[in-house]
Structure 1
């Protein structure tokens, strides 16, 4: 294993509003790949390079995002700042069981032009030089057709150079014009993935797979497939072997936001350090179990280890 991996995570961070029981709103920042980037950097520490790839505006919220990312040790050299643009915004509402409902304002978000501007050219050229490229289904949705096409070319070149491509399926129907458009985009990318971190419910919603066996059968060309199933056992197929890793029990779930993102971060960090799939899944369960006991996507820095 590379002791000093260079990792680029591609996606969107938004302004996050947490709707609290008293009716007040708490403002922070979040997004699936950004959450994973933060937790991944915390898990790997200073020996790694974890860069975030996105586009923001030139507003004060974008300034604050960059300041927060820098404080977490994330690299910002692949972040574009587009004049006159803004980041997206979302609000989290949770029920008594900690289950989430999201309200989004993101149609004009700067990230939609992440790979279409002249400033994207050096970023696209640099991405194949990383050891690991990480993206999600939300990444595919927000980049749009042109951005996806350019990203796909990057993934092909990166793998030719020996990089690993990691994909978290994170399917959000409202981000797509229709299910067929989403399926086509996913299938194109999944042909170039080395590690697939899949949520079973999302696979069912997108492709209609009835059970885990159908999911595994759908991806014969992917060496390592991890099937996340919430509070149930995690199922893994790696190099033809199968593994079952029980989740960590939690007495009270406060907020499931970033449960899957944090699991993915700890799983990937463990694998990059040479851990087995079982060890990696247990690390993922442990981190996710802490994340779902607090409100919001990111644990305070002193609570994430």
Structure 2
């Protein structure tokens, strides 16, 4: 091989390796692919289905694939809906691979249903029962954070009354979770104007009023970019009550680098502030199939390269 040709091919291979994903036979145009196994510097948490084209449909195989690519956390919104045997297997797989379990959702009937803002005892009971059931699930998978969406806005009630109803219900929920070392993380959403909880400052106020370490903010960057923007500023303003982050670019709710959010700057800011918790990858893949799964991994390698 001529020296000039060798140098060009070596430079191309080095470029691919530097992106964190190495196409083993890129120069011979085959489809065989391997990945960097270096652990990510932050606890990014994929979810089931995100890498199914590479890992298959079995949940444990998917978790092992995530770990093999350097992911050190995992989240599953639907964990409470899964059977006990699978919950136990997931917990064992995470422990074996030294992965941190991220959030799962406390089941209370849906994001807009059984709203705590209404102050109705039947709704509060559904929520508190969900907290009690979540304790047992959390033990199986070694979870520490549980997502709570308070429900819908009540247009016939003054906002101060709604706030009081939500705060009181969350205090009771926190009293259930705190003795077990669990933290509910409240998620402001952008999905509907009928939701009660939509802004980071509002969530911050509620956490302060609940006044319990078992109640913190789930700062979903995708949702809060849509509702308020100023992501870094609002992270700073609410920092002492943030317990968890979730990720998704806007528009589209896909992986970082596909939209308008400068995730490299945000990740660097979060890490520089000392955050060592989980950042849930609550988004879809912008491209279908294996190519799209590679794009997701590459996006996180790129945006955490600082």
- Indicate the TM-score class for this superposition, using the shorter chain for normalisation: 0.3 to 0.5
Structure with the higher fraction of residues in strand conformation: 1
TM-score of the pair, normalised by structure 2: 0.37
Structure with the higher fraction of residues in helix conformation: 2
TM-score of the pair, normalised by structure 1: 0.37
